[in-house]
């Protein structure tokens, strides 16, 4: 599969809709990727590397947040994601207290002390600090880039936007992913809706981080979730989503 996951067990029964519901999820997740021209699929020219993961307050279905995550994939950056879906209570208050308003994405870089709103400003900052050259056209602050990012959200029927009841973990989870993968998108949506914080390890095509990932997981396949709260490691988006519902869903 070109998008980072094997085909076989991706056809297992998904939440609530059986095989047909799972198929709809996969097809629409592919549609979201194609709407953005597979932006975030490959790593570009890299600059200096941060010593600490960046911190991002966002939510998966937000078109502006998507462009920031795409930039992070292309720049091979690790980020501590603190999901802020609509109606969420765990991280929104912190973002508002630090930044002064309920606006996302909100980036904090502990390596430089930079804190900022506005996806266009964040993307420019990331490329100026951790890349070489200007951001690609797919991340440009124009109507086309914004419209295609909004279309990607529309493909997923507003998944990854609103909060769902859940139990908070003691420690952030870890997810190996890259933005353009449809299967990784399905996992990030669930993490967002459940307000589950996670350390995002980007391993897009050409990533120098892939070697360490394979040493950790045993093979090059994403999504891959590690939960330090339970000691569980899982491949396959369907299995990961099922695990998140069973472990952290309010009725799990």
Please say whether the beta carbons of 151 and 35 come within 8 A. Answer: yes
pLDDT at 15: 45
Which residues, 6 or more positions from 164, have their beta carbon under 8 angstroms from its beta carbon?
85, 193, 194, 249, 250
* pLDDT tens digit sequence for 80-127: 999 999 999 999 988 888 888 888 999 999 999 999 999 999 999 999
pLDDT at 2: 47
10-residue mean pLDDT profile of the chain (252 residues): values are 41 47 87 86 95 96 93 97 95 88 93 95 96 85 80 83 95 97 96 98 97 97 98 97 95 56
pLDDT at 10: 34
* pLDDT tens digit sequence for 143-158: 777 788 888 888 888 7
Superfamily of domain 1-43+54-252: Glutaredoxin (3.40.30.10)
pLDDT at 17: 53
pLDDT at 134: 85
Rounded CA-CA distance 135/150 in Å is 19
Token couple for 2? 């070109």
Sign of CA dihedral 78, 12, 250, 87: positive
Token couple for 66? 């998507």
Which residues, 6 or more positions from 241, have their beta carbon under 8 angstroms from its beta carbon?
14, 15, 186, 187, 190
Domain segments of the chain: what residues?
A: 1-43+54-252
pTM, to two decimals: 0.89
3-state secondary structure of 110: coil
Q: What is the mean pLDDT of the chain?
A: 89
pLDDT at 19: 62
- 90-94 long-range contacts (CB < 8 A, ≥24 apart) are 90/168, 90/195, 90/197, 91/57, 91/195, 91/197, 92/57, 94/57
């Amino acid at each position: 599969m070109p998008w980072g996951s094997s085909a076989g067990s991706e056809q297992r029964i998904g939440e609530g809709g059986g095989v047909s519901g799972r198929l709809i999820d996969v097809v629409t997740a592919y549609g979201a990727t194609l709407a953005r021209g597979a932006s975030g699929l490959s790593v570009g020219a890299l600059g200096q590397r941060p010593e600490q993961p960046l911190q991002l307050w966002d939510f998966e279905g937000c078109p502006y947040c998507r462009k920031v995550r795409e930039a992070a994939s292309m720049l091979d950056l690790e980020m501590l994601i603190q999901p802020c879906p609509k109606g969420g209570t765990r991280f929104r208050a912190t973002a508002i207290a630090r930044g002064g308003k309920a606006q996302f994405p909100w980036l904090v870089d502990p390596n430089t002390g930079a804190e900022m709103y506005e996806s266009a400003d964040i993307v420019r900052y990331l490329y100026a600090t951790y890349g070489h050259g200007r951001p690609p056209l797919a991340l440009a602050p124009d109507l086309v880039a914004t419209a295609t990012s909004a279309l990607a959200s529309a493909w997923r029927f507003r998944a990854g936007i609103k909060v769902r009841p859940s139990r908070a973990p003691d420690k952030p989870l870890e997810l190996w992913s890259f933005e353009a993968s449809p299967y990784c998108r399905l996992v990030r949506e669930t993490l967002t809706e459940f307000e589950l914080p996670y350390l995002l390890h980007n391993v897009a095509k050409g990533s120098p981080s892939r070697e360490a990932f394979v040493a950790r997981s045993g093979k090059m396949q994403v999504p891959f979730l590690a939960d330090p709260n339970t000691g569980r490691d899982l491949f396959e988006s369907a299995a990961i989503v099922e695990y998140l519902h069973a472990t952290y869903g309010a009725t799990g």
